[in-house]
Structure 1
């Protein structure tokens, strides 16, 4: 797990070989950043940091660099991006790699160099000898999407990096308001840490005051207001989004996606699927499924079907009827409120 790697890196417990792969590119990039920060100082990085794209450069060139003694420092750091030969994917690259040369290096890596293989690949080809060797000789970090518990741990870790603590209810509130995208969460936690100042705790009140709501969260809130027949508050959210220059068509599209998600969660739950299984089937984060499941209980199947039809009609009219798009959205909200009355 990548989060465990970070703890080792911060203690300067380095491996000569790392293998980072997965679809969560933020985790891979953050691991690279931490390795650079803790393995080299600014002056050393100028001379002892190298980056290669293995779709453009043969592996033997990078290995020759890795075997070169550091200049003005104790460590060299070599990033090897896009090691496509570790996967079953077809690459357009015409570069031929001397894999035997790499296998020889793995048997006796330079003790003064940290070599990092990094690729945004969902899977590696475990049948290949070189993949097995890399996983056996190096430290592996799989950068996969974090589940809710891992996200909570990650937020705590991020707060700790800023020398502050964070309360549990504040973590829940951040996830609710900002969503599950790590880049967004990083921005928000760092901002909250600056506000809290070193040594203090981040509270839920601070989160409410400072965290920017994602567009998806605003749509979630809009649906929630309609469910509870708070039409004035629903319109206030909609008009706030317009003031933020959000396009009515985009709002309608995300709203459609939210109701589609609620319908899918409701239907799959009825078939006996758990929330983790549902998240895997429809390819959304389990935390979003958890929130949608709560809303799904407040709708009947026929209501959801009718709402999705209303949204599809509104979308069609916006593209073919020439009607004012803002007005179409307002009409939808009024019609929806009427059906929930």
Structure 2
């Protein structure tokens, strides 16, 4: 099941065997925390949560720990991380894993240990006997990067978790400013919850605009959008807004160049016939980043993008050589990009 569905199940399940698969580290950490919270008291966690990295320890060592009765308390949690042997992934390591031991444990688990197997990779190798067995016996939770259409559902769940309501425009601003990064979304919602207090639990657009932190990724996109619109006044105003947030011009040049480079890479791959999912995999970028770049690439020619990236590099060099004041240099850069 996917993580959004698993959240409800984790609150009531009596299972003590879990398989977490996917590359979204935030979801993995959230699922592990939920399991720990449901199984152990705060006092028992220090001695009864043990983690093993399968690139550094053997599966035998981890399972021996799971089969050893806890010295303190009645239950323990054993986390088996980077279980690459459930995938087709090739890992350079001297560790040899006794897969038969895992088969035996999976068929005959102990009732005093909860085992969480983490596979922080894109997919399992379901041709393997051990993979099929573990997936069948464990509560299987997909921790893949959340798809674009799921982001709003995720925000709604967090808003409900914190006992809040939110205006549509405020929600859109929250998603836009965080770049759809899950950890950032929760951090910002927690901050909003603390700010508005217990009496007023509704988040308006005005409150969100005042409090939600500007992320570099989205700030860079705002500058790119001003360039696309050929709106110099808007570009300079965005620049001044970022200066008020203590952003350094040299850092902003790097940020702007990074956004333009991403658009350039996405445009190049689109011209080769790649779809957004393939581009995400090829460039190893968040789907939201690829989506934002894909929405903008058609407004640029390859030549224009190359010229813009080159202008950023030249401006950076001139500032570092002391030939231009950094504020003036950045405004001149914006003028060149908008032309």
TM-score band, normalised by shorter chain: 0.7 to 0.9
Matched residue, 2:151: 151
SS of the aligned residue for 2:133 comes to helix
Matched residue, 2:63: 63
More displaced stretch, 204-213 vs 76-85: 76-85
Contact 1:165 1:201 in 2 (8 A): yes
Mapped partners of 2:332, 2:52: distance in 1: 55
Per-residue deviation, residues 260-306 of structure 1 (Å, max 9, x unmatched)? 44455566667876655654555444433444455445556654454
Q: Does 1:105 align with 2:105?
A: yes
More displaced stretch, 154-163 vs 83-92: 83-92
SS of the aligned residue for 2:111 comes to coil
More displaced stretch, 121-130 vs 183-192: 121-130
Mapped partners of 2:329, 2:60: distance in 1: 61
Instruction: Give the direction of change, closer, same or farther, for the CA distance of 1:102–1:284 in structure 2 (3 Å limit).
Output: closer
Mapped partners of 1:303, 1:90: distance in 2: 41
Contact 2:318 2:324 in 1 (8 A): no
Mapped partners of 2:250, 2:150: distance in 1: 34
Matched residue, 1:220: 221
Mapped partners of 2:154, 2:269: distance in 1: 29
Matched residue, 2:124: 124
Mapped partners of 1:99, 1:272: distance in 2: 42
Matched residue, 2:9: 8
Quote how far apart the aligned CAs of 1:194 are: 2.0
Matched residue, 1:165: 165
Mapped partners of 1:258, 1:242: distance in 2: 18
Mapped partners of 1:84, 1:278: distance in 2: 24
Long gaps (5+) in structure 2: none
Mapped partners of 1:52, 1:273: distance in 2: 39
Instruction: Give the direction of change, closer, same or farther, for the CA distance of 1:294–1:130 in structure 2 (3 Å limit).
Output: closer
Contact 1:259 1:304 in 2 (8 A): yes
Contact 1:164 1:196 in 2 (8 A): no
Contact 1:249 1:315 in 2 (8 A): yes
Matched residue, 2:252: 251
Matched residue, 1:308: 309
Mapped partners of 2:274, 2:87: distance in 1: 32
Moved runs in structure 1, 4+ residues, more than 6 A?
267-273
More displaced stretch, 17-26 vs 309-318: 309-318
Matched residue, 2:18: 18
Mapped partners of 2:64, 2:301: distance in 1: 65
Question: TM-score when scaled to structure 2?
Answer: 0.84
Instruction: Give the direction of change, closer, same or farther, for the CA distance of 1:79–1:208 in structure 2 (3 Å limit).
Output: same
Question: How many residues end up aligned between the 2 structures?
Answer: 336
Long gaps (5+) in structure 1: none
SS of the aligned residue for 1:94 comes to coil
More displaced stretch, 152-161 vs 303-312: 303-312
Mapped partners of 1:114, 1:132: distance in 2: 19
Matched residue, 2:30: 30
Q: Does 1:180 align with 2:180?
A: yes
Mapped partners of 1:277, 1:96: distance in 2: 34
Mapped partners of 2:87, 2:329: distance in 1: 48
